[in-house]
Structure 1
Amino acid sequence: MTTLPRPLIQSLEMLAATAEALELRNDWIVFGGAAMALSGLPDWPVPDIDVLASEETANALIDAFGGRILTPPAADRFRSRLLARIDGTPVPIEIMVGLEVKTDDGWAPVNFRTRVDRPVQDRHIPTARTAEQAAMARRFGRPKDLQRAEALDKLTD
């Protein structure tokens, strides 16, 4: 397994342990930089852990961690029905419900169809398969996402 920064490992362990203790359904997934690091790209900065979840699961995690609901920024490239931040972990966690990305055809929901449980110490963190992460990064379309997609293309699950 790839060596990850200790603060990231600690935060992911806290997230997985809390989800397990709350007996949350499998309706949450880690994406973005943290998922990419778990998939084998440890050299990319991970300023926060992005989690896409159902509203019920998001609220349970927000309550458990004492997170705060944020006013989502003005919708330019992304928007979500709910955005929350948990700062009580070494690496902050951002939870999103109903995330959408702006495309040429309008707003499109962000959904992951694949799921891989990535090991973190004695826990598991759900992410999408590497190929789907690369496809989503291309869909996000920012320069950093396109660079990530290119790097992800070189990996396999």
Structure 2
Amino acid sequence: MGEGCNENLTPHAEFVAALEQIVRLLRCEGFPWMLIGGAAMAVHGVDDTAPADIDIVLSGSAAAHIAARHGWQNYADGGSGPLRSDYILRPDLGRVPVELLGNFRIRDGDGWIHLALARAVTVSWCEQQVPVLPLNQLAQLFRPIRREKDFRRAALVSGS
């Protein structure tokens, strides 16, 4: 494995395996996408604990195409609270949950923040080229969610 990969930790090895699988699948699909959340922090090298899940943002039309092509169920329920997606796809890639979030947005006051896929930066991690939300924008992503873990994440990202 490449830099930033620590396969000695079983949960970390499972995270790496799941991320490698979804990166290969999405590369074959050919749609723009980007990694967000704790997994993006790990790829950026901010937090070396194994993320509990992998969250990936893509357009609603890309999510619809991928869902139809692979026969994956859409788990989006309209949402209530600070996070909303038109599509939530959960491919079974092992023990680390993966969610593909089509047309993902975050409530910020009275409006919604849509993440621009064009802002993704490509990070070389574990011999993979992974499009991720830039570090300076990860803190902006975490704060409006207003969960304790996201405040901690925002502080970690801001301090890096």
Q: Which residue number corresponds to residue 9 of structure 2?
A: none
CA contact (8 A) 2:139 2:153 kept: yes
Is 2:134 the partner of 1:132? Answer: no
Q: Which residue number corresponds to residue 42 of structure 1?
A: 48
Q: Distance in 2 between matches of 1:120 and 1:66?
A: 29
Deviations 1:50-108 (A, max 9, x none): 1110123223443565532114374122122121211233422111122222222x231
Where structure 2 has 5 or more consecutive residues not aligned to the other structure, the ranges are 7-11
The normalised TM-score by structure 1 is 0.82
Query: Quick one: which amino acid aligns to residue 78 of structure 1?
Result: L
Q: Distance in 1 between matches of 2:81 and 2:94?
A: 28
Distance 1:86 1:143, change over 3 A: same
SS at match of 2:90: strand
Q: Distance in 1 between matches of 2:130 and 2:48?
A: 15
CA contact (8 A) 1:31 1:128 kept: yes
CA contact (8 A) 2:88 2:101 kept: yes
Q: Which residue number corresponds to residue 6 of structure 1?
A: 13
Q: Distance in 2 between matches of 1:64 and 1:118?
A: 28
Q: Which runs of 4+ in 1 moved over 4 A?
A: 63-66
Where structure 1 has 5 or more consecutive residues not aligned to the other structure, the ranges are none
SS at match of 2:159: coil
Query: What is the Cα deviation at residue 141 of structure 1?
Result: 2.3
Is 2:114 the partner of 1:107? Answer: no
Is 2:155 the partner of 1:150? Answer: yes
SS at match of 1:86: coil
Q: Which residue number corresponds to residue 124 of structure 2?
A: 119
The normalised TM-score by structure 2 is 0.81
Distance 1:56 1:73, change over 3 A: closer
Point out the structure with the larger helix share.
Answer: 2
